A and B are shown apart, each in its own frame.
Chain A
């Protein structure tokens, strides 16, 4: 299994749809996980952190399955502005400042009207 792996997509969905992405990781020692959003030719920005079983923020829900070693991101009621690339980030060991942080290649979402 690759260290961090994401389905590249693209996911093309209509406005209002629910869409889910998965990210698998190989290091069972990883404890914290992150989803970043990156717009075209811009820097990534934090969308959600996942420290335990999951996290929810409005239309966005992240879930962690430690047994199967994957993190999912669910977006409900998709908006045009959700169109972006979503990057999964996994620390190489127990996370603290200075831990190597490994990015997946990203999943591209395109929401259309």
Chain B
């Protein structure tokens, strides 16, 4: 089945550690997105990519980094510079219509 796979589903991290969230899609979509959701809030755009080897900062990119070396993959690194990293992270892809989401990764910083 085609879809988006995010891993890990749950992740705990100590303060000061970097962590990388994986996002893989087999939908052959060019565009991919990373969003962050805090409790009771909507989704806020972190980074997005229109095509391989290209990506743009979203509204809350500080403390995050991404790469887009392959069409299928768009990993997100949460660095120690991100002051409040505990959140629900959602990856999505699209061919220009519907956004398809992964099941999300819940990051908790201890």
Contact = CB atoms under 8 A, between A and B. Distances in A.
Interface of A: 6, 34, 36, 41-46, 49, 87, 89, 95-106
Interface in B28-87: 29-31, 33, 35, 41-45, 48-51, 56, 58-59
Nearest to B88: A41
A100 B58 contact: yes
Interface residues of B, number: 29
A97 B42 contact: no
11 contacts: A34-B98, A44-B43, A44-B90, A45-B101, A46-B98, A87-B43, A96-B96, A97-B30, A97-B96, A98-B49, A101-B45
A103 B50 CA distance: 18
Contacts of A87: 42-43
B86 to A, nearest CB: 15
Interface of B: 29-31, 33, 35, 41-45, 48-51, 56, 58-59, 88, 90, 94-99, 101-104
A5 B50 CA distance: 26
A98 B51 contact: yes
Given A43-B102, A45-B101, A98 B42 contact: no
Contacts of B102: 43
Contacts of A95: 96
Contact of B104 (A43, A46, A103): A43
Given A97-B31, A106-B42, 19 more contacts: A36-B99, A42-B103, A42-B104, A46-B98, A49-B97, A89-B99, A97-B95, A98-B31, A98-B51, A100-B58, A101-B45, A102-B59, A103-B35, A103-B42, A103-B43, A103-B44, A103-B45, A104-B42, A106-B41
